[in-house]
Homo-oligomer: A and B are copies of this chain.
Amino acid sequence: MTSFNFKFDLIAQDGDARAGVFHTPHGDIPTPIFAPVGTQATVKSLTQRHLKELDAKLILANTYHLYLRPGDELIAELGGLHQFMSWDGPILTDSGGYQVFSLSDMNAIDEDGVTFKSHIDGSTHRFTPERSVQIQENLGSDIIMAFDECAEPYDREYNERAMQRTHRWAERCQKAKTRGDQALFGIVQGGVFPDLRAASAEFISGLDFPGNAIGGLSVGETKDEMSAMIEVVNAILPAHKPRYLMGVGTPLDLVEGIRRGIDIFDCVLPTRLARHNAAMTDNGRMNMMNAQYATDERPISETCTCYTCQNYSRAYIRHLIQARELLSGTLLSIHNIHTLVNLTRNLRTAIIEGRFERFADDYLANLST
C-alpha cells in the first residue's frame, strides 16, 4: 500500500480558533469543517451530487453498521467504501466503539475487546482494537479512528478505568494498522473530569497520531462542562495536528468548539432533524409542521443559498410533511447540512480575516436556541 503524508497546514489562527487544511488521499479538507454522517454508506436521502453541491468536504460512515451490513469484506471486494457509495471525497469512519455500547442488544467488555449482539438479528460478534482497524482497512476510509470505550460522563471510577483501557487500545490500534494511506486518529476520553481529560490528552498526544479526537462529549453533560473539557484537552493536544470533536453538531456547539481550537465536527443532527420536520437556521430551529407556514411563500431562510431555499417555499415543504411525502426529508436535509457547512465556512473566513470573535458573537446573538 502506498504511504500518504497526512499533513495538516495551519493557515491562520485567531485567538484559539484555527483555519487549516488537512490533506488526504481523496482530497484536501479545509478546516474548521462539519462532516455530514452517512451511517450506512448513505447520508440519508441524499445523492452524492447533493453532497457535492453542498460542498461537503468530508463525510462520516459508521464501522459498526457497515461491518454488520453489508459487511466490510464485501465492501472491500467491491473496491472499498468510496467506490461502493460513489463518493470520491474524503471519508472518516469511526471505530464502532461508541455503537457497540449504545446500539447493540448486549455487550460484554473485557481487556481484550467487546462481545456484542447485533441490533439487526441478535447474532453475536466481537470487536477488538485489532479487529476495528482491520474492518476500517477493509472499508478504506481516509481517516480511521482508534477503538475506544465511551463511559458514562459522571462516573469517575468508570471513566478512569475506561480511559486507561482506551489508552492501551489506542496503542494496539497503532500496532495493528497496516495501510499507509489511512490516517489513524487517537481519541481522548475522561468524562467530565479535568484531570482525567488532561491525563488522556497527554497520553494520546504522546502516541503521535496524525490527528486527535475528543470522544465522550455531547452525551449528557452541560454545555459549560463540554467547553471546559475542550479547553483542558486542546491546551495539551499538539497544535500542528487536527482536532476532531466527535458527534457534535449544533450551531452553538460548532461556534464554541471552533472558538476553543476544534477543527473537525460530525453529527447526525441535520439529517435527523430533517426527518423530524425541523429546519436549522442561523436564527435557530423552525418546526416546519407549524400551521403558520401553510400559506408562507418565503423559503425556509430568505438569505440561504441552498438548493431547497432557492426553489421551494415553506408552504410547499409543510404540504410535503402533511402529505407524508419523502421529499420533505430530502429538502430539509439539504437545507440543514447547508446551514452547518456554511457556518463553518463563514467561521473559517472570519478566522483568516482576524474577526472570529466578532463574527461568533454576532452569530450567537441572533441564534435563538
Contact A42 B320 (CB under 8 A): yes
Roughly how many angstroms separate A294 CA and B84 CA in the complex, as a whole number? 12
A44 CB-CB contact with B under 8 Å: yes
CB distance from A88 to the nearest CB of B (A): 10
**A319 with B69: CB separation less than 8 A:** yes
Q: Is A1 an interface residue (CB 8 A)?
A: no
Question: How many chain A residues have a CB neighbour from B under 8 Å?
Answer: 39
In the complex with contacts A70-B294, A322-B70, A330-B47, A41-B316 CB distance below 8 A: yes
Give the residues from 301 to 341 in chain A that come closer than 8 angstroms, CB to CB, to chain B: 307, 311-313, 315-316, 318-320, 322-323, 325-327, 329-331
* A346 contacts partner chain B, Cβ-Cβ < 8 Å: no
Residue of B nearest to A331 (CB): B47
Residues of chain B lying within 8 A (CB to CB) of residue A115: none
Minimal beta-carbon separation of A236 from chain B (angstroms): 39
Say how far A333's CB is from chain B's closest CB, in angstroms: 10
Which B residues are in CB contact (< 8 Å) with A42? 320, 323, 325, 327
The residue of chain B having its C-beta at the shortest distance from the C-beta of A323 within the complex is B40
| Contact B79–A46 (Cβ < 8 Å) | no
Determine if B41 and A319 form an interchain contact, defined as CB atoms under 8 angstroms apart: yes
As a 0/1 sequence over residues 64 to 82 of chain A, the CB contacts with chain B under 8 angstroms (1 = contact) are: 0100011000100111000
The answer, yes or no, to whether A295 is at the interface (CB within 8 Å) is yes
Chain B CB count within 10 A is highest, among A44, A84, A329, A331, for: A84
Q: List 13 A-B contacts (CB under 8 A).
A: A40-B319, A40-B320, A41-B316, A44-B327, A45-B327, A46-B327, A47-B331, A70-B318, A74-B295, A74-B315, A84-B319, A86-B316, A326-B330
- Beyond contacts A41-B316, A44-B327: 19 other A-B pairs, Cβ-Cβ < 8 A, are A40-B323, A41-B319, A42-B323, A44-B326, A45-B330, A46-B327, A47-B330, A47-B331, A49-B311, A69-B323, A70-B294, A70-B315, A70-B318, A70-B322, A74-B315, A84-B313, A84-B315, A86-B316, A326-B330
